[in-house]
């Protein structure tokens, strides 16, 4: 098991998020975390409660039902990209693809969803 210093984590976490596939709206859960942590993107959780917990409240993720998302995007003055998160990532992917066709905002989704978030050891609250 490798030991990392606080400085190493600063370098890892401050790196710009990368997409998992060129031209894709998919990003890793770690990249989604980095973007939300440094306020480079708005993390939108598409569920009011996950079966296993929720994104840690310090990240200030917006919790919206999928039917509320379009209205939020149309009425928001926030120009940051939006990253969608759902329980297993499927709903987020479908929603991101539908919104990409409308070209209203820069929308991506976290691959693996909240389950992937937990597997990656990212901050969550039960």
Taking the model in full, what pTM does it have?
A: 0.78
Other CB atoms within 10 A of residue 94 CB = 15
Is the Cβ–Cβ distance between 47 and 73 less than 8 Å? Answer: no
Across 30-122, the runs of DSSP E, i.e. the strands, are 42-45, 54-55, 62-63, 82-85, 107-110
pLDDT in tens, the chain (126 residues): 455 555 555 555 555 544 444 345 899 999 999 999 999 999 999 976 666 778 888 888 898 988 899 999 889 898 899 999 999 999 999 999 988 888 877 899 999 999 999 999 999 987
> What's the CA gap between 34 and 47, in Å, rounded?
21
Rg (C-alpha) for the chain, rounded Å, is 14
């Amino acid at each position: 098991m490798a030991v990392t210093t606080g400085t190493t984590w600063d370098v890892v976490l401050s790196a710009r998020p990368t997409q998992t596939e060129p031209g894709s709206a998919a990003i890793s859960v770690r990249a989604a975390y980095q973007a939300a942590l440094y306020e480079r993107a708005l993390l939108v959780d598409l569920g009011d409660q996950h079966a296993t917990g929720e994104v840690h409240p310090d990240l200030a993720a917006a919790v919206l039902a999928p039917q509320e998302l379009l209205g939020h995007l149309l009425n928001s003055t926030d120009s940051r990209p939006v990253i969608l998160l759902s329980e297993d990532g499927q709903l987020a992917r479908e929603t991101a693809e539908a919104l990409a066709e409308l070209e209203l905002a820069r929308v991506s989704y976290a691959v693996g969803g909240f389950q992937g978030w937990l597997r990656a050891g990212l901050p969550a609250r039960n």
